Every structure is written in structure tokens, then in C-alpha cells.
């Protein structure tokens, strides 16, 4: 058992000014969606090159609304990676469509676009890729493919707020883009998310889809023409989001400095498979530092490895289980061996501590404990 402070693998940095700001909102007499939601949406729009951004209670809600906005429902197919978070599978199924999985790249973990091309059928309506920290999906290839086939693109950008493609922020271009503001992400609203849309009509539809499906009539009554959800973000959360967005560049710089330190100090024998190494000023953001463990050369299971780190005061995560092998994913006819790379990542991945509240010394501590634990468990 370590006497050193416990290092969580993810978490937010909340300053006193933000906490005071929340107090002001609580005292203001308006705590649900109101002026702070509008302020956050304007600030996010500025961040996304002037495109319209709407905030919601989670990225999961944003993905559901994006699918509805794209008119996706029963009989439609949506292509997604077998290596992502449950949100993408769940929301495709929830709107009544069929998830079509493809495999991913072993190092970047991004969706394999050549496999996407092969998976397109006349029923395909959209591609739903998740961008991974450290390396975005190839946007030029993705949009060439989607536009050539008349498909919508819903980018799951939950992990990459602040990443850039050729100098432009993710969200500043493309089709529909969703972000998460969960406390483990690059910025937080406690729970929360956002969707970037294409025009005023789509924005109006999001307004209804996130609030009961309601539209307001000239006689000051209301109508519902389609069933909406209840996904509006409260002002208390939006107040936090405004403060967090202001500090995002600083948070991203700290994360990048910590990732550089990981690459400098992380050595194990046998070696782990590391994420793509950053090159200077490459515009990538780093939400997670996930490595693949050399399990076949170790006498420890991943669970035992994580337990050993936990006892040393180091938290870890698993990002992610293979979607096609969870009980819901198997309902679509899948089993072991269908997407070998996604499955290998699911077996071997471990996410190490990385957030803006850590120091380079914390990273050194993680690297030392990981090296010791893997070294002791080595079968070589
Ligand atoms: C890749 C990815 N997409 C979507 C989500 C969903 O985000 P939220 O918790 O805001 O619904 C997550 C959450 O962890 C995620 O990791």
C-alpha cells in the first residue's frame, strides 16, 4: 500500500473562480437553461469556426440527437468502429438502426477507412467514427469517401476537444460533430456534451430534439410534431463550461507536456505498444495515455496488473471493450475473431493517469511503478 497521494487516471481541474461563479448562478434565480447556455454556445461556436453549436446534457445525448437529425432509423445501417465507447453502439441501436462494425488501426486505434468502404451497402446512411487522442481519423479520406457515397458523417469527438486537422479545430468543419464534457474529458461541465450542426434549420431541430420535441407557436402555445428527449443543459453546468473553455489551451498544454514526459520516461521490459508519438506542433490533443500490455510475455493478467498499480496508488482505466463482443453487440451476429485488432486492444489496453492536475513527477512515478510491475512479471 502506497503512502503517496492516489493518482486518478482522469479528472478535472476546477478553480475557485469557477466555484464562485456557480454560486452566483445558483443565487441568480435562473438555474436551468438560460443566459449561460447561450454564452457557452456562442463561445463554442467561436471555437468551431463560427459553426452553430448546441449544448446538451451529455455526448451520448448529442450522438442520439445527431442520428435523429440525420434522419436515421429502422432499416438504416451506420458504420462504426468495434473499438470505441458503448455510446456509439447504444445510440445507433436506440434510434432503431443497425450498427455495422469494422476494425481499427492497432496504433492510432482509429477506424479502418478501407474496411468502411468495403462495409457500405445500399442501406448505409452514415459513418460514425470516434477520433482517438494523439491522431485524428484522416479527415480528407473520410470525407472523400462519405461525400462520394452520399453518406452523413457523425464525428464522435468526445476525446479530442482542441485537436486540429491542418490548422483547424475539430468541429470547425465537417458534417455533424459531437463533444463530451464529462469530468474525464479535456474540459468539463460535470456532465454535458455538444453537437456542431450545419445550418439554422438543423439548429432549430436540435432545440426541439433536446427539449420534448416542442416548438413554440405564435399564439404562445406549444406543439410537438415528433418525440423529443429532455437533454437541455442547466445554466449551472454551462457556467462551468464557459470557465473551462477559457482555460482549455492551458489544460491542453499541460496534458501535452505530460505526454512528452511519458514518451521520455516510459520503458518496460518486455515493451508495451505505445500510442503514436507526438511530433512538435502537430495540433493533437491528449485526453488519454493508453498503452497495450505485453500480456503474452507476462505472468500477470491485466486485472492483476491493474490491482498491483492500484495498491501503489495509481488508478487505471480500460478504453475500450470491443463493442461487437458485448452482449448487445453479439446480438448483431458477432463473435471472437471478427475484428482482431479491436479485440487485441480490448484485451491488452490500459489507460494510465493523464489529466491537467498531474505533474511530470507524477508521470515519473507511474513510469517507475509500471516498469517495476511488468519487469517482475516478465516470463523472459
Ligand atoms: C469515445 C466516447 N464517446 C462518447 C462518450 C460519451 O460521453 P458522455 O459521458 O458525455 O455521454 C464517451 C464517454 O466516455 C467516450 O469515451
Q: Mind listing the pLDDT tens digit for each residue in 329-377?
A: 999 999 999 999 999 999 999 999 999 999 999 999 999 999 999 999 9
177 C-alpha to center of ligand 1: Å?
A: 13
Work out the percent of the chain whose per-residue pLDDT is above 90: 98
| CA-closest residue to ligand 1 atom 8 | 59
- Which is the closest atom of ligand 1 to the Cα of 192? 10
Task: Determine whether 216 is exposed, middle or buried from the number of CB atoms within 10 Å of its CB (0-12, 13-18, 19+).
Answer: exposed
Cα of 365 vs centre of ligand 1, distance in Å, is 28
pLDDT of 66-124, one tens digit each?
999 999 999 999 999 999 999 999 999 999 999 999 999 999 999 999 999 999 999 99
What are the pocket residues of ligand 1 if the criterion is a CB atom closer than 6 Å to any ligand atom?
58-60, 84-85, 87, 130, 156, 158-159, 180, 182, 193
Q: Is the pLDDT of residue 380 over 80?
A: no
Q: Are 76 and 98 in contact (CB under 8 A)?
A: yes
The pLDDT mean for the chain works out to 97
Give catalytic residue positions.
Answer: 185
- Mutation test of ligand 1: which of 11, 134, 158 has the most ligand atoms closer than 8 Å to its C-beta? 158
pLDDT of residue 246: 98
Tracing cell 491488452 back to the chain, one arrives at: 348
d(CA 262, CA 251): 17
Tell me the mean pLDDT in the region 224-235: 97
H or E stretch including 245? helix 235-265
3-state secondary structure of 48: coil
pLDDT digits (tens, 9 = 90+) for 25-79: 999 999 999 999 999 999 999 999 999 999 999 999 999 999 999 999 999 999 9
**Ligand 1, pocket-test mutation among 10, 87, 155, most atoms within 8 A of CB:** 87
Under the banding of pLDDT at 50, 70 and 90, the label for residue 2 is confident
Residue 1 pLDDT > 80:
no
The half-sphere exposure of 151 on its side-chain side, counting CA atoms within 13 A, is 28
Q: What is the pLDDT of residues 274-331, one digit of tens each?
A: 999 999 889 999 999 999 999 999 999 999 999 999 999 999 999 999 999 999 999 9
59 Cα: distance to centroid of ligand 1 (angstroms): 6
- Give the residue, by CA position, lying nearest to ligand 1 atom 7: 59
Calpha distance 351→223 (Å, rounded): 47
Record the cell numbers describing residue 194, joined without a space. Answer: 455538444
State in Å: Cα 216 to ligand 1 middle: 31
Based on C-alpha coordinates, what's the Rg of the chain?
Answer: 21
What is the three-class DSSP state of 55?
A: strand
d(CA 284, CA 277): 10
* Ligand 1 pocket, mutate which of 12, 61, 85, 134 (most atoms under 8 A from CB): 85
Among candidates 246, 238, 192, which has minimal Cα distance to 13? Answer: 246
pLDDT at residue 333, as a whole number: 96
Amino acid at each position: 500500500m502506497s503512502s503517496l497521494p492516489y493518482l486518478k487516471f482522469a479528472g478535472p481541474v476546477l478553480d475557485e473562480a469557477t466555484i464562485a461563479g456557480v454560486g452566483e448562478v445558483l443565487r441568480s434565480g435562473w438555474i436551468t437553461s438560460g443566459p449561460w447556455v447561450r454564452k457557452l454556445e456562442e463561445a463554442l461556436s467561436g471555437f468551431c469556426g463560427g459553426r452553430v453549436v448546441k449544448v446538451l446534457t451529455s455526448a451520448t445525448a448529442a450522438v442520439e440527437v445527431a442520428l435523429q437529425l440525420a434522419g436515421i432509423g429502422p432499416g438504416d445501417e451506420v458504420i462504426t468502429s468495434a473499438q470505441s465507447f458503448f455510446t456509439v453502439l447504444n445510440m445507433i441501436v436506440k434510434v432503431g438502426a443497425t450498427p455495422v462494425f469494422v476494425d481499427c488501426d492497432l496504433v492510432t486505434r482509429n477506424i479502418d477507412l478501407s474496411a468502411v468502404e468495403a462495409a457500405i451497402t445500399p442501406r448505409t446512411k452514415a459513418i460514425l467514427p470516434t477520433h482517438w487522442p494523439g491522431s485524428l481519423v484522416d479527415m480528407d479520406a473520410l470525407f472523400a469517401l462519405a461525400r462520394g457515397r452520399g453518406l452523413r458523417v457523425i464525428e464522435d469527438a468526445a476525446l479530442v476537444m482542441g485537436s486540429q486537422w491542418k490548422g483547424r479545430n475539430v468541429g470547425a468543419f465537417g458534417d455533424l460533430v459531437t463533444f463530451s464534457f464529462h469530468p474525464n474529458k479535456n474540459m468539463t461541465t460535470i456532465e454535458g456534451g455538444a453537437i456542431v450542426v450545419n445550418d439554422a434549420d438543423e439548429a432549430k431541430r436540435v432545440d426541439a430534439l433536446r427539449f420534448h420535441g416542442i416548438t413554440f407557436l405564435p399564439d404562445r402555445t406549444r406543439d410537438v410534431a415528433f418525440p423529443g428527449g429532455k437533454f437541455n443543459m442547466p445554466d449551472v453546468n454551462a457556467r462551468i463550461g464557459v470557465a473551462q473553455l477559457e482555460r482549455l489551451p492551458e489544460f491542453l498544454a499541460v496534458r501535452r507536456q505530460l505526454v512528452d514526459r511519458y514518451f521520455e520516461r516510459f520503458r518496460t521490459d518486455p515493451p508495451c505498444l505505445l500510442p503514436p508519438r507526438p511530433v512538435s506542433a502537430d495540433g493533437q490533443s491528449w485526453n488519454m495515455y493508453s498503452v497495450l500490455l505485453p500480456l503474452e510475455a507476462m505472468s500477470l493478467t491485466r486485472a492483476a496488473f491493474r490491482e498491483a498499480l492500484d495498491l501503489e496508488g495509481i488508478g487505471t482505466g480500460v478504453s475500450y471493450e470491443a463493442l461487437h463482443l458485448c452482449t448487445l453487440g453479439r446480438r448483431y451476429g458477432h463473435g471472437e475473431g471478427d475484428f482482431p485488432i479491436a479485440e487485441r486492444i480490448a484485451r491488452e489496453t490500459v489507460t494510465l493517469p493523464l489529466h491537467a492536475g498531474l505533474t511530470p513527477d507524477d508521470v515519473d512515478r507511474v513510469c517507475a511503478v509500471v516498469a517495476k510491475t511488468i519487469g517482475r512479471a516478465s516470463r523472459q
